């Protein structure tokens, strides 16, 4: 069962007790756990929007919620908090926050620049528990580092090929409803404090396989990229990699949005008893948090990394042309271009994540 996952055990065993503590005390304890595990569960946190946002303010700047940045209905408890609760389908656009069923593991605001640093979920009402396990809306977490290490061991060169392609192809896509500044980073991007070769940031959208069809012109070798994306989506949705556990009222889960995907198992939205329809009252408040540092600086860093990835892609193309046996003049020109590009990359200190594709030559 998902709860036997090692990460699920760590999250629950190393939780922070919130009862009887000030927001400052809870934040200090949570910071220690975050520095170690990059994810922290707080028990018995107050169900108060202001104290929730005060807590998150210790980790960055809570962003405006989806409805505040779109035409979606404004029914949330605060302009910075998303209410996740089942609703019957109404006319017009409806957020995924109001649907039944499960939610595939994904990144918060995967389209956005700069990349949000944290994501938080506060369970207000746990909802129906009499339904079978796996249908209670249990929270799902996927560690990208753990996933990639296991895939590298399982799939070898096939994984390396997909990892390299998704790490070296800049991509820009939009949200379905929200309008924000868009990132140009690859789906897998380097982190300055990485703890290993697969400790990278990921920005995965639930419906990205459909979304990229409309932007195929910006993606070199689209069919190969599509294959790599499908590989990532399939692996991240594989339940053997899920850290999963039910959250009780007052449970607050804070996670590193670069390093973890979040989702949910199936939730039963409604059922009929004696001819009367009953609606699940499960309610969760989610908030996305941006780095406290000036957004302009963070966005500039994202943009620079995207530029460096583009340089590496150009270098890869030049090397391919050279190795492919072009004529002597063309080869010399390709070599000159490749050397110039390599010098630029070296001067700007590109990490091994961007250069991983070159290792195959």
CATH classification of the domain holding 135: 3.60.130.10
- Do the domain assignments include residue 13? yes
Are 99 and 265 in contact, with CB atoms under 8 Å apart?
no
Cα 265 to Cα 120: distance, rounded to the nearest angstrom: 17
- Do the domain assignments include residue 65? yes
Residue 104 host element (H or E) = strand 103-106
- pLDDT of res. 91: 47
- pLDDT of res. 304: 64
Total domains, the chain: 2
Give the domain range for residue 261: 2-292
- Do the domain assignments include residue 297? no
Per-residue pLDDT for the chain (361 aa), expressed as one digit of tens each? 455 799 999 999 999 999 999 999 999 999 999 999 999 999 999 999 999 999 999 999 999 997 666 555 567 789 999 999 887 655 443 343 444 678 999 999 999 999 999 999 999 999 888 888 888 889 999 999 999 999 999 999 999 999 999 999 999 999 988 889 999 999 999 999 999 999 999 999 999 999 999 999 999 999 999 999 999 999 999 999 999 988 999 999 999 999 999 999 988 888 777 788 888 889 999 999 999 865 445 545 565 665 666 556 656 655 565 666 554 555 555 555 555 555 454 444 444 444 444 444 3
- pLDDT of res. 54: 99
Cα 73 to Cα 91: distance, rounded to the nearest angstrom: 11
- In terms of domains, do 309 and 356 share one? yes
Peptide bond into 114 cis (omega under 30): yes
Note the pTM of the prediction, 2 decimals: 0.81
Integer angstrom CA distances of residue 302 from 119, 130, 233, 299: 19, 46, 23, 5
- In terms of domains, do 85 and 181 share one? yes
- In terms of domains, do 128 and 259 share one? yes
Are 236 and 147 in contact, with CB atoms under 8 Å apart?
yes
- pLDDT of res. 302: 63
Please count the other Cβ atoms lying within 10 Å of the Cβ belonging to residue 18: 22
- In terms of domains, do 125 and 64 share one? yes
- In terms of domains, do 62 and 195 share one? yes
- In terms of domains, do 223 and 330 share one? no
Q: What are phi and psi of 225, to 5 degrees?
A: -65, -40
Are 288 and 63 in contact, with CB atoms under 8 Å apart?
yes
- Do the domain assignments include residue 17? yes
Please count the other Cβ atoms lying within 10 Å of the Cβ belonging to residue 112: 21
- In terms of domains, do 267 and 326 share one? no
- In terms of domains, do 178 and 230 share one? yes
Domain boundary among 233, 263, 292: 292
Domain boundary among 260, 292, 324: 292
Two tokens at 179? 């309008």
- Do the domain assignments include residue 75? yes
Integer angstrom CA distances of residue 68 from 59, 73, 79, 180, 252: 22, 9, 6, 11, 23
Q: Among 104, 110, 305, 117, which Cα is nearest to 211's?
A: 110
- In terms of domains, do 18 and 128 share one? yes
- Do the domain assignments include residue 95? yes
- In terms of domains, do 356 and 265 share one? no
- Do the domain assignments include residue 57? yes
- In terms of domains, do 168 and 258 share one? yes
- Do the domain assignments include residue 222? yes
Domain boundary among 262, 292, 322: 292
Two tokens at 143? 């560690």
- In terms of domains, do 80 and 174 share one? yes
């Amino acid at each position: 069962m998902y709860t036997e996952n090692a990460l699920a055990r760590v999250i629950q065993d190393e939780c922070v007790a919130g009862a009887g503590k000030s927001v400052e005390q809870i934040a200090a304890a949570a910071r220690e756990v975050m520095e170690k595990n990059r994810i922290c569960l707080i028990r018995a946190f107050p169900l108060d929007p202001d104290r929730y946002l005060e807590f998150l303010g210790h980790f960055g700047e809570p962003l405006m919620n989806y409805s505040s940045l779109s035409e979606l209905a404004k029914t949330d408890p605060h302009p910075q908090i998303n209410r996740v609760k089942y609703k019957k389908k109404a006319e017009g656009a409806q957020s995924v926050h109001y649907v039944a069923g499960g939610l595939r593991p994904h990144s918060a605001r995967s389209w956005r620049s700069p990349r949000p640093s944290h994501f938080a979920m506060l369970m207000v009402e746990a909802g129906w528990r009499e339904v079978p396990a796996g249908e209670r809306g249990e929270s799902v977490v996927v560690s990208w580092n753990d996933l990639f290490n296991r895939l590298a061991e399982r799939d070898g060169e096939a994984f390396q090929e997909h990892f390299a392609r998704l790490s070296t192809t800049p991509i820009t896509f939009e949200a379905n409803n929200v309008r924000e500044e868009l990132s140009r980073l690859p789906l897998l991007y380097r982190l300055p404090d990485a703890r290993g070769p697969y400790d990278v940031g990921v920005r995965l959208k639930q419906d990205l396989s459909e979304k990229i069809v409309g932007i195929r012109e910006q993606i070199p070798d689209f069919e190969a990229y599509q294959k790599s994306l499908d590989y990532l989506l399939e692996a991240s949705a594989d339940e053997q990699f899920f850290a999963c556990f039910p959250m009780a009222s007052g449970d607050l889960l804070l996670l590193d949005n670069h390093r973890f995907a979040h989702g949910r198992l199936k939730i039963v939205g409604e059922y009929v008893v004696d001819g009367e329809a009953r609606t699940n009252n499960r309610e969760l408040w989610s908030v996305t948090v941006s780095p406290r540092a000036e957004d302009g600086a963070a966005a500039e860093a994202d943009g620079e990394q995207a530029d460096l990835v583009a340089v590496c892609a150009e270098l890869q193309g030049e090397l391919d042309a050279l190795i492919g046996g072009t004529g002597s003049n063309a080869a010399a020109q390709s070599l000159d271009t490749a050397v110039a590009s390599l010098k630029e990359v070296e001067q700007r200190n590109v990490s091994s994540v961007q250069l991983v594709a070159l290792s195959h030559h």
